[in-house]
Amino acid sequence: MLRSFQQYIDGVFEDGDTRFDSINPANGRAWASMPAASADDVDRAVKAAHRAFLDPAWAGLTASQRGKLLYKLAELVAQHADQLAALETADTGKIIRETRSQIGYVAEYYRYYAGLADKIQGACLPVDKPDMEAFLRREPIGVVAAIVPWNSQLFLSAVKLGPALAAGCTVVLKASEEGPAPLLEFARLVHQAGFPPGVVNVLTGYGQDCGQVLTSHPLVARIAFTGGPETARHIVRNSAENLAYTTLELGGKSPVLVFDDVDVDSVSNAIVAGIFAASGQSCVAGSRLLVQRGVKDRLLARLQAKAEAIHIGDPQDSATEMGPLATRRQREHIEKVVAASVQAGAELLTGGGVPAGRQDGYYYLPTILSCPDAQIPSVTTELFGPVLSVLTFDSEAEAVALANDSVYGLAAGVFTRDLSRGHRLTRALRAGIVWVNTYRAVSPIVPFGGYGQSGLGREGGMESVLDYTRTKSVWIRTSDEPIADPFVMR
């Protein structure tokens, strides 16, 4: 029997009128039944969030009280990390040791935003009128539509929910229809933490009935989206209906620049982690390797050996180092692009197919392509899979030109022992995140976001809380003198 999950609207768990089966990527079989939110469900959720936004049960809380609720939620996430991790692994195919580690760290994000709840400050303005005082108040912006993809969904929800709730907003959280189980279960922790009904609503569903209705709803004041550029364009068009403030965290084709002065063993470990962790299904995956000619042969030999030694298996097994892709559709997309890349002149060094004995799930081998130029399809296309495209450079200027030759600009990595070069490249690279001699480091304290088609706005860090507020200007006349008659000329 399939496990059944419920949506969460206005403090009530519901089965929903329409349901769909969720597929386990490890074996290609249905394992759970999910509610597909209707347009009416979405409307009810947004209206519940709007009522809660105005209700003294939430609006009347002090900032410190909101922070305490977030602290409680953080503790519950930490306590239930193993349970949430098992659900995410079953529904998305991410290996269990990665989901456990990541979800355990998600609690730190809620703790961070809990601490910021009572640090949101206004300002007293030194106006040029002697009989006036003017100051700014920061107030919550309203109902937030938070939309996250299936990968790293608890983390990507935390960087939206955390600052939104700290600021005093209410939220309708839409989980991806591809693997929503952990977020639907997370709703039970929200309920247990004691947030008033309607403050957080969690649902999932498909485009027109769910996503379009949510992002165009007249009561939605802010949209926070993580996903692909094409869906983002639909959201921007939808937001013309409500003029909601919108932030977009989109895809990437992140370059990793390796110079010939590096420790090859150390760098190869970082590159493998950057592209093959999570089966390459990460927006910051280091999918373009730019390597200086003098170290290319040694580095590629090391990377090929490491890629071929990766243990591919059941994602629920703690010994597994790489699991399946999340969907059959994604694997088919990767297969087509890799084939087109080889036809265009790329050399397949390793991988490029389904692992032996893994035909039932959506597995794909760690793949390395040596590419003759930057126009090869695997170099220009975000694959969202375990495919590394390698280009060669001779000079620092050439490396920068190759790195910046992309419509994306989310992240970049630089590996060199030359500290001056590292500083130069942090300025030259067109990316929202630049890692030097490391990769994929994250912290709630540090904002992230991209350039170009990698998105608009930033998530994480102290200032992200302010993105969920708007300012109100207040003028107070301090003089006791009567206000002069405006029609008497002096």
- Catalytic (active-site) positions: 249
Q: Is 417 helix (H, G, I), strand (E, B) or coil?
A: coil
Tokens 């630089």 belong to 414
Residue 318: Cβ within 10 Å count: 10
Q: Is 5 helix (H, G, I), strand (E, B) or coil?
A: coil
Query: What would the two tokens of residue 420 be?
Result: 């001056």
Q: Do residues 175 and 153 lie in contact, with contact meaning Cβ atoms separated by under 8 Å?
A: yes
Tokens 């301090």 belong to 478
Q: Which of 81, 45, 344 is nearest to 220 (CA)?
A: 45
Pairing of strands 7-9, 12-14: antiparallel
Q: How far, in Å, CA of 269 to CA of 167, rounded?
A: 40
Q: Do residues 379 and 389 lie in contact, with contact meaning Cβ atoms separated by under 8 Å?
A: yes
The half-sphere exposure of 117 on its side-chain side, counting CA atoms within 13 A, is 24
Residue 329: is it exposed, middle or buried by C-beta count within 10 angstroms (0-12/13-18/19+)? exposed
Pairing of strands 367-370, 387-393: parallel
Name the phi and psi angles at 279, rounded to 5: 55, 30
123: left (phi over 0), alpha (psi -120 to 50) or beta: beta
Q: How far, in Å, CA of 205 to CA of 413, rounded?
A: 36
